[in-house]
């Protein structure tokens, strides 16, 4: 199995596979505020990941590149990101580090959007030189390092040795010239992992929780014999976000929520729980598949409108004010918090 055909299979199977259960956000409800004293036209969506200022908290999370067929996908995603001023991550650039012919499938994102915020992406087990090369390839504004041990273990050709990952993350943080974001790909980060990453000096963690794209199911489609017990593995995005906020209390590490984000109210809930930004991958990919760039632009507009309606209804004029909105955590997510000592 070549790396390029794996990239195409990931796109196809991610689109054909159902979410890994709930993202947990239906357990979280805002306390409706009938006297909001807000003004919809005056709302601000500005936020930041560390020093990186963003005009919207929503960004297109890492998906693709690395096979000839993926260049048009990255081009269309980058056009949408440019038109709506959203940050955008590319998929893992390892393919282009090994094979220069694949570079264009990633650099198209910078060609299309020369002034936009672009995140480079590689696995957390790469060398410092590879990490630097990934950033340079895109003149990237930040570097995402993905942690995906379960995906690798289910993937027939995946990595089997994770002993040096923390060491590598620390070395990369110390030597790349841009902020480093460490992310999961749909199984979530626990509070303990978030604390360790904070000690390594990362700028941001992206919880990459369960409830959307299900890489256990995707990799199982690529195996002769499926490992079916992993279909519901991992922390939901809501659980992982609550763990991260609890673990980081008082520390200056930015938190990104992602994993199964469906609409602007999910975004509002993630921000209210303390996230600084919110990544969307699978939902935007499906909308693009069904209707191309025009549909994706309309979807991004709907996300923004829904987020702003929620903010106006709650009396929150800014992302910072949204953090003070009253909410109630119930159901399985509440149970998780009790058992994990999160108050």
* Burial label, 119 (beta-carbon count in 10 A; 0-12, 13-18, 19+): buried
Residues shown for the chain: 343
CB proximity list for 220: less than 8 A, separation 6 or greater = 154, 226, 227, 228, 230, 231
Nearer to ligand FNR, 242 or 285 (CB): 285
Nearer to ligand FNR, 217 or 316 (CB): 217
Least distance in angstroms from the C-beta of 295 to ligand FNR: 17
Nearer to ligand FNR, 113 or 213 (CB): 213
Residue nearest to ligand FNR (CB): 212
Least distance in angstroms from the C-beta of 167 to ligand FNR: 20
Encoded tokens for 75: 């081009």
Residues engaged in binding ligand FNR (CB under 6 A)? 10-11, 14, 61-64, 91-92, 121, 144, 146, 183, 185-186, 208, 212-213, 258-261, 280-283, 285
Nearer to ligand FNR, 63 or 272 (CB): 63
Least distance in angstroms from the C-beta of 301 to ligand FNR: 18
Nearer to ligand FNR, 277 or 280 (CB): 280
Whole-number Å distance between alpha carbons of 237 and 256: 10
Least distance in angstroms from the C-beta of 64 to ligand FNR: 6
Three state DSSP letters for 161-216: CCCCHHHHHHHHHHHCCCCEEEECCCCCCCHHHHHHHHHCCCCEEECCCECCCCHH
User: Hey, which bits of 239-337 come out as E strands?
Assistant: 254-258, 277-280, 327-329
Least distance in angstroms from the C-beta of 182 to ligand FNR: 10
Whole-number Å distance between alpha carbons of 8 and 272: 36
Least distance in angstroms from the C-beta of 250 to ligand FNR: 27
Nearer to ligand FNR, 191 or 211 (CB): 211
């Amino acid at each position: 199995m070549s790396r390029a055909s794996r990239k195409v299979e990931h796109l196809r199977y991610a689109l054909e596979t159902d979410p890994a259960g709930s993202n947990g956000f239906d357990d979280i409800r805002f306390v409706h505020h009938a006297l909001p004293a807000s003004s919809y036209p005056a709302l601000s969506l500005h936020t930041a990941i560390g020093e990186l200022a963003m005009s919207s908290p929503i960004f297109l999370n890492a998906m693709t590149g690395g096979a000839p067929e993926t260049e048009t996908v990255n081009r269309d995603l980058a056009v949408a990101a440019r038109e709506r001023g959203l940050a955008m991550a590319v998929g893992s650039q390892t393919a282009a580090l090994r094979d220069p012919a694949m570079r264009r499938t990633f650099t198209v994102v910078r060609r299309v959007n020369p002034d936009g915020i672009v995140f480079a992406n590689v696995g957390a087990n790469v060398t410092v030189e590879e990490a630097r090369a990934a950033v340079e390839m895109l003149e990237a504004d930040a570097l995402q390092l993905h942690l995906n041990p379960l995906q690798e273990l289910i993937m027939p050709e995946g990595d089997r040795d994770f002993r040096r990952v923390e060491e590598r993350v620390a070395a990369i943080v110390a030597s790349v010239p841009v902020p480093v974001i460490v992310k999961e790909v749909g199984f979530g980060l626990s509070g303990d992992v978030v604390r360790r990453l904070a000690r390594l000096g990362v700028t941001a963690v992206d919880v990459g929780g369960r409830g959307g794209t299900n890489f256990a199911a995707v990799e199982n489609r690529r195996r002769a014999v499926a490992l079916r017990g992993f279909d519901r593995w991992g922390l939901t995005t809501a659980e992982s976000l609550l763990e991260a906020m609890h673990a980081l209390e008082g520390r200056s590490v930015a938190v990104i929520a992602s994993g199964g984000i469906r609409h602007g109210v999910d975004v509002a809930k993630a921000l209210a729980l303390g996230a600084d930004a919110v990544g969307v991958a699978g939902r935007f990919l499906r909308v693009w598949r069904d209707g191309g760039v025009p549909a994706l632009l309309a979807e991004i507009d709907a996300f923004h409108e829904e987020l702003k309606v929620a903010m106006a209804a709650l009396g929150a004029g800014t992302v910072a004010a949204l953090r003070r909105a009253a909410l109630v955590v119930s159901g399985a997510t509440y149970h998780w918090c009790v058992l994990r000592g999160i108050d």
